[in-house]
Amino acid sequence: MIDGGPGDPVDGIKEQTPCDLHDVFRNVSVKVAVGYVLPAFGAEGEPATWHGNEIPAGYAHVGVDSVVPSWETLQLDIPGGFNQHPIAAQHGSHHGLCHGRRLRSRALAPHLVPPDSAASRAKLLAIGLPRRRNAPPGPAAVPVFGNWLQVGNDLNHRLLARLSARYGPVFRLRLGVRNLVVVSDPRLATEVLHTQGVEFGSRPRNVVFDIFTTNGSDMVFTEYGDHWRRMRRVMTLPFFTARVVQQYRAMWEAEMDHVVSDPAIWISFSEIYRS
């Protein structure tokens, strides 16, 4: 519940995720902008109403006034919902129904586009995914799937090189609900992997790898932190000391020579070890 009243500045409200306002009587979903926000409910003991109709369970009556054109997001905790609701921008003043679901799709305000027109429905679908300020460029994504339909399961270096040539050295792909930022410039890659290595050192959690690695407890898939540093100390002695490096140096150099001479050559590790 937002603790405040009409005229309270939005800066006093915690920023979190963007509220999807859904008018169930017209079956139209719209977004509310950052501005002055105050949830409005019925009198004590009376149900809240919308245009004289009782608001269904799971909805809350939301009023938004003096809206400013900003895409900042807010945290809106309304009783009957699931704590966080998306809020995005529209101009002017609007009242609607805030459904208790966490949604991030963005729609046009009903006073900007006729809600019943076929063109407006197409427009709502086209802008169904959020657009964040200062986000890297990238191919247009579709709701739910993101860019999966464009890249499929073949996310190889050739595809990434083509996308980099079109969108620049830093671009974004949306794979389902995840954002993937690709860096293809050597200088920027050094900044990400070395200078800011602590910030980007962890791998995203994956349910499949969690099963095979006991919730990511091994060295490769664990999150960067104290556990990873302890694992590194354990692994250094048998694998990365100067003596061990010299022992396997010839094999590693032979493997690199094979790769450089012809990337299409398949290297049999068993043959290298036997030699």
Q: Which helix (H) or strand (E) holds 186?
A: helix 186-190
In this structure, is the dihedral angle defined by the CA atoms of residues 51, 54, 56 and 58, taken in order, positive or negative?
A: positive
Write down the pLDDT at residue 182: 92
First-last CA distance in the chain: 70
Is the predicted pLDDT of residue 13 greater than 90, yes or no?
no
In tens, the pLDDT along 133-151 reads: 678 899 988 888 888 888 8
Strand locations in 109-213, DSSP E? 170-175, 178-183
Using alpha carbons, list the distances in angstroms from residue 159 to 138, 152, 251, 262.
13, 11, 32, 21
Q: Closest Cα partner for 63 from 6, 104, 1?
A: 6
What is the pTM (predicted TM-score) of this model?
A: 0.40
Cα angle 86, 115, 55 (rounded to 5 degrees) comes to 55
Higher pLDDT, 18 or 183: 183
Strand 178-183 relative to strand 170-175, pairing:
antiparallel
Query: What are the sequence ranges of the domains in the chain?
Result: 10-111, 241-274
Higher pLDDT, 251 or 92: 251
Higher pLDDT, 29 or 141: 141
Structure tokens at 266: 């398949």
